[in-house]
Structure 1
Amino acid sequence: MENLFCFSKASCQEMGGGYLKRANAPQLQEIFNKYASIEKNGEKYMSADDFVIKYLRILNDKDHNADTVRLLAGIVDTSKDGLISYPEFQAFEGLLCFPDALYKTAFQLFDTNGNGMVAFQEFVEVMKKTELHQRIPFNMESPFIQLYFGKNKSRLVSYNEFSQFLHDFHEEYAIEGFRRADKDGSGFISVLDFQDIMISIKSHLLTKEVQSHLIEAVQGETQSRKVSFPYFIAFNSLLNNMELVKRIYLNVTNGHRNQEVSKDEFMHSAQAMSQMTPLEVDILFHLVDVLHQTGRIVYNDLYAIAPEQYFKQITNRLAEIHAVSSPEDRGVVIQILESSYRFTLGSIAGAVGATAVYPIDLVKTRMQNQRTGSFIGELMYRNSMDCFKKVIRHEGVFGLYRGLVPQLLGVAPEKAIKLTVNDFVRDKFTDKNGRIPLYGEILSGACAGGSQVIFTNPLEIVKIRLQVAGEIAGGAKVRAWAVVKELGLFGLYKGARACLLRDVPFSAIYFPAYAHTKASMADESGYNHPLTLLAAGAIAGIPAASLVTPADVIKTRLQVVARAGQTTYSGVLDATRKIYKEEGFRAFWKGSIARVFRSSPQFGVTLFTYELLQRTLYVDFGGSRPSGSELKVPSLGGDKAITNVDHLGGYSVSVPIFSGIESKFGLCLPKFSLPKA
């Protein structure tokens, strides 16, 4: 076993560099001592329960199957003495760094005597304990078994040979199931037998949707109550080759994932690649039609047919590890490139969001600037809807977009720096396990809000003066550059304090609310559909926009040019005092409805665009990416993903690897204690 499980430090690091970074020895020793409950001759050891239940956490600590615990612990216990020493624990961590870790782990599961070979009796001992064999016993006298272990079953099988055996064994198991059901040798089995075989032997290749529609799918395709052997083989071949199916689809669409593909188009591509039979294509399209009744397929339809396999879980886990690695480890240049990338995407997202809601923003500004308590005559607008109608009547539809150009010139860097700073500061507060405390979320949002004022204030003072210019009948046309020249550099920052009072609390409320709303709307695997991103962004904007309206009113009054007869203000406190005295408390909430209807969808569209851009134009800088942005599949059997902060180095992928024994080979060991008689 030394050649399989013991490596030099250099070789481990070399392999780990392309797959997974090794945990250092002091860390691993500390973790081992933490879980090792047995001391013998001055040395610490892990028991089977210590390793499987307390450390890996893949079985229930109160109700579990003792045989399963023993077999799983035996994978690491190469000395087969019932105890796991630190060298064995460390050696297995190194094994998990190898690309073929799944096959090595499965091999060690069957090598119960630890001699580096698998004998027929060892294979039978483990197989008889699987749930699959208990449901459908495999014929251990079959020619397939004899080809690997010899006619008298005395041949020992090496690791490389056994890996091929495992690869072929499950397909043979399905054929064995067909033979058992085909009692008269006609080459046909009943639809119910087909369902039983697929759910018993191939359940790891079936999604819940396919399982629930198996009979319907088969009957519709075969037009009978019988399933032929060719259909059975083609059905299984299709499930085994869904990654190939995805490649064929992408070949048809030139990489586009939302394009509908007809059966003829798919068939042409499949035959050109010489990889799928016409029967397999028929089954694929019939399955999609049964599930979604479209007659065509899009890329997402393929996820409904086949679940992601264990290697997807490993890829996701490695991405998580990479994402939460210390930013300092990546170097200053990489961090600058990442911030530039985020800034660019934020600029695009900000421009899209601002354009989408600009008419509402114009109405909000005019409502907030409308004064009462002065001697300037009756109110110009009764409410936001009245304002909207009058703008269109007197200024035309384009009047709703007064000041849009300077808004876009400023909103791009404004939203970009806000999103970039929020992501950057969140990275600093995020620990190595990807968790961020609530105060870290709030501070990240506050920093983002404060940083944007350098762009926001000049932008908004120009925008506001352009937006209210249309209220003066026959007034001269006001242009953005004229406003900038009139105000000068310092004048562009008039009302900056009020701007800070608005933007800092807004972002401190908005970003945490968005993160938690998005998480609550994600599906059971943690993935956010684009519509849930849009909804989460809009919902989070409601409390943030409404609660900071008073600061927005004060900022608007300070930045707009007071007309004859209107009250003027010298600062934040002066404006607060005069507004309250002349107009009452309700004046601080003027335009709040319009503000919510503007800010809520604007940030919904902005964050929606920002995250979709990061998904479609994703560049891996080794930092974080939006949570819920990847399709993730929970660990098999419906269990939630299990994480442990002590799973370092190779052990970071230990749970997916152990689950992979089931998902790749269908070798499910009983997880719970059998009921007592």
Structure 2
Amino acid sequence: MVTETEDPPIVKVTPLQQMLASCTGAILTSLMVTPLDVVKIRLQAQRNPFPKGKCFMYSNGLMDHMCICEEAGSKAWYEKPGNFRGTLDAFLKIIRNEGIKSLWSGLPPTLVMAIPATVVYFTCYDQLTAHLRSKLGENETRIPIVAGILARFGAVSVISPLELIRTKMQSKKFSYKELRQFISQKVSEDGWVSLWKGWAPTILRDVPFSAMYWYNYEILKKWLCEKSGLYEPTFMISFTSGALSGSFAAIVTLPFDVVKTQKQTQLWTSESHKISVPLNMSTWVIMKNIVAKNGLSGLFTGLIPRLIKVAPACAIMISTYEFGKAFFLRQNLRRQPLE
């Protein structure tokens, strides 16, 4: 009599372990990429000093944030005087004159939002991918696109109101009571949808970016593994795949990034200076205005700085995330009882 043997249980990385891996990746990415943006902002401020109420974009490598100057000539990190001849010169002089910690100025408040957003995004992507593969099969090429779109859509929608509140708190010293009054006033005047101001251009930039990024990443990772004769990707394969797929997605979605920056800058400059500017223009109208004023190249303003920031950020984040998942998978295998 032949008895059927049960298949051994499949060992997987748990959602909590995925969250820990993505959290580690978010912190490491922020620590390594933030100095690039700090130097970029200091160089911009040197060429064109920031007046009171001036808005500028700050990024920790994972998320863009709107910052507002409180006072002209203040000693804030983005307005400290400097005579920099270039990026490397700025790095060296900031370290020598202000200490190495100055390269991570402004990091703590952005991490408060970047870490939750990244954890939600990467964990949702992996969970959605696993679910879709169980339904559609392992070789379905559309899975990374669908999972990437849904994961990014959810992450942006959750974080968008927090971005609005955080930016408002930067523009002026607010007590929690005043902040609550501000939110209540916005909701009573314009409805709950007002808390998602800037959501549309962010979605138009981030959702296509996510779809292209994950599709290209999975294709490149699989191809490099086959070329190397490996079943699982190494750290360098994940790093290279992340950098290349992130660069391609950044180039294609740059026009929507330009629109998002312009829309948010107009919003907060208007509130700071009480200037009446047309804030309700659609994304397409803003794009047409940019093309009419600066030509098609105007939609790709800041391409090189964006690539310099996005490529290493994507590479560091995904390689750290994959490394973390592989580490937890090995731990789970060791804990599995021997049959």
On whether the aligned pair clears a TM of 0.5, the verdict is yes
The equivalent residue for 1:357 is 33
Per the TM alignment, residue 541 of structure 1 is displaced from its structure 2 partner at its CA by 0.8
CA contact (8 A) 2:144 2:215 kept: yes
Question: 3-state DSSP class of the match of 2:233?
Answer: coil
In 1, distance between residues paired with 2:293 and 2:181?
Answer: 29
Amino acid aligned to 1:604: A
Per the TM alignment, residue 480 of structure 1 is displaced from its structure 2 partner at its CA by 11
In 1, distance between residues paired with 2:25 and 2:214?
Answer: 16
Matched, 1:592 2:303: yes
CA contact (8 A) 1:538 1:600 kept: yes
Distance 1:516 1:611, change over 3 A: same
Per the TM alignment, residue 594 of structure 1 is displaced from its structure 2 partner at its CA by 1.5
Matched, 1:572 2:249: no
The equivalent residue for 1:526 is 231
The equivalent residue for 1:514 is 217
The equivalent residue for 1:426 is 129
Q: CA offsets, 1:103-142, max 9 Å, x none?
A: xxxxxxxxxxxxxxxxxxxxxxxxxxxxxxxxxxxxxxxx
Per the TM alignment, residue 433 of structure 1 is displaced from its structure 2 partner at its CA by 9.8
Correspondence 1:35-74 to 2 at 5 A: none
More helix by share: 2
Distance 1:345 1:575, change over 3 A: same
Q: How many residues align structurally?
A: 278
The equivalent residue for 2:139 is 436
Q: CA offsets, 1:304-332, max 9 Å, x none?
A: xxxxxxxxxxxxxx68xx37xxxxxxxxx
Q: CA offsets, 1:165-196, max 9 Å, x none?
A: xxxxxxxxxxxxxxxxxxxxxxxxxxxxxxxx
Q: CA offsets, 1:533-552, max 9 Å, x none?
A: 22221121101112111111
> How does the TM-score come out when normalised to structure 1?
0.35
Per the TM alignment, residue 354 of structure 1 is displaced from its structure 2 partner at its CA by 2.4
The equivalent residue for 1:616 is 327
Per the TM alignment, residue 621 of structure 1 is displaced from its structure 2 partner at its CA by 8.7
CA contact (8 A) 1:498 1:551 kept: yes
CA contact (8 A) 2:39 2:87 kept: no
Of 1, 14, 23, the match for 1:347:
23
In 2, distance between residues paired with 1:575 and 1:350?
Answer: 32
Amino acid aligned to 1:570: N
Structure with bigger RCO (C-alpha 8 Å, 6+ apart): 2
CA contact (8 A) 1:363 1:387 kept: no
Question: 3-state DSSP class of the match of 1:447?
Answer: helix
The equivalent residue for 1:601 is 312
Distance 1:465 1:554, change over 3 A: farther
CA contact (8 A) 2:121 2:152 kept: yes
Distance 1:403 1:362, change over 3 A: same
In 1, distance between residues paired with 2:314 and 2:175?
Answer: 25
Higher-Rg structure is 1
Amino acid aligned to 1:537: G
Amino acid aligned to 2:106: G
Amino acid aligned to 2:24: I
Distance 1:463 1:597, change over 3 A: farther
In 2, distance between residues paired with 1:577 and 1:487?
Answer: 33
Per the TM alignment, residue 620 of structure 1 is displaced from its structure 2 partner at its CA by 8.7
In 2, distance between residues paired with 1:361 and 1:481?
Answer: 30
Q: CA offsets, 1:392-441, max 9 Å, x none?
A: 59998656544321221111111111111211221122158962322222
In 2, distance between residues paired with 1:592 and 1:465?
Answer: 28
Question: 3-state DSSP class of the match of 1:408?
Answer: helix
Question: 3-state DSSP class of the match of 2:279?
Answer: coil
Amino acid aligned to 2:212: I
Per the TM alignment, residue 484 of structure 1 is displaced from its structure 2 partner at its CA by 6.5
In 2, distance between residues paired with 1:404 and 1:465?
Answer: 17
Residue ranges of structure 1 left out of the alignment (5+ in a row): 1-5, 21-317, 324-333, 371-379, 470-475, 623-677
The equivalent residue for 2:117 is 414
Matched, 1:547 2:252: yes
In 2, distance between residues paired with 1:462 and 1:361?
Answer: 22
CA contact (8 A) 2:40 2:87 kept: no
Amino acid aligned to 2:254: T
Amino acid aligned to 1:520: W
